Structure 1
């Protein structure tokens, strides 16, 4: 980022390598995957030609609900899989989504991770900690710039994101 007044975009700080769950993984496989990789959630994606296409998102909470229901009520028919318990159509952002727009989505929708998607392809992921780190870096850069002036931003574009979200 060369211009300190220009805030960064998702492509500048997203995590590029993302562990994914495939839609046909069983509930047990998904739980083991999350535990093995120490993840609280993961994208569910179809892999075609070395590209990952986002289908949904699956969390520890989704797994807890599914496994407790199965243990309490008995085995469902058909058996649970990532596809049957995932949250379909998660909130997504584009690689060009600007920092303050992403912050707005995180705070307005209480999500912990946002998949970065372009034409259905999963390119990366942004977490709350990624955003906090990027905000701190951006803040330090702006505050320490000698010509820093406190100016009001045009928030109309950011505010519109509260209602117009690309769901990939």
Structure 2
């Protein structure tokens, strides 16, 4: 069996300009844990997950610093803090989504799909052909195929 045989083709998607609230409502209403983000040409540009939404609401800790000669010297990287802050104030999907999406092609076998999910620690794999979103394989789809 291949990805094209087990993937769901009735896919819920959002655009990068959709609001975070719209994406969260879709996930809750459809009882799904992640939504592919596609542009107007049906190109996969990202994915937004429950983890992204929950991460938006976690406590943000500013980087450590010391005062030295009347100035501030940061003892930790500020990059992570500013990334967390950017996500905290996100209102559009494009500001919260992951743009590094793990995907498989339609010809990927079950073993490749299972291995990829395990190694990359993902719960769903968009199926992409020629840059276009064709479907999505979830863990549930994979389990059904294995039965």
Query: TM-score higher than 0.5 here?
Result: yes
Which 4+ stretches in 1 moved above 6 angstroms? 73-78
In structure 2, runs of 5+ residues without a counterpart are 61-83
User: What TM-score does the superposition give when structure 1 sets the normalisation length?
Assistant: 0.66
Deviation at 1:56, TM superposition (A): 0.7
Q: Tell me the residue number matched to 2:79.
A: none
Which of 56, 70, 92 is equivalent to 2:103?
92
In structure 1, runs of 5+ residues without a counterpart are 1-7, 137-168
Aligned residues: 124
Q: Tell me the residue number matched to 2:34.
A: 41
C-alpha separation in 1, matches of 2:28 and 2:11: 15
C-alpha separation in 1, matches of 2:138 and 2:88: 35
* Cα deviation code 1:30-71 (max 9, x no counterpart): 2122112221111111133xxx2111111112112224569x
Q: Tell me the residue number matched to 1:64.
A: 54
- The alpha-carbon distance between structure 1 residues 75 and 98, as it changes in their structure 2 partners (threshold 3 A), is closer
- The alpha-carbon distance between structure 1 residues 129 and 74, as it changes in their structure 2 partners (threshold 3 A), is closer
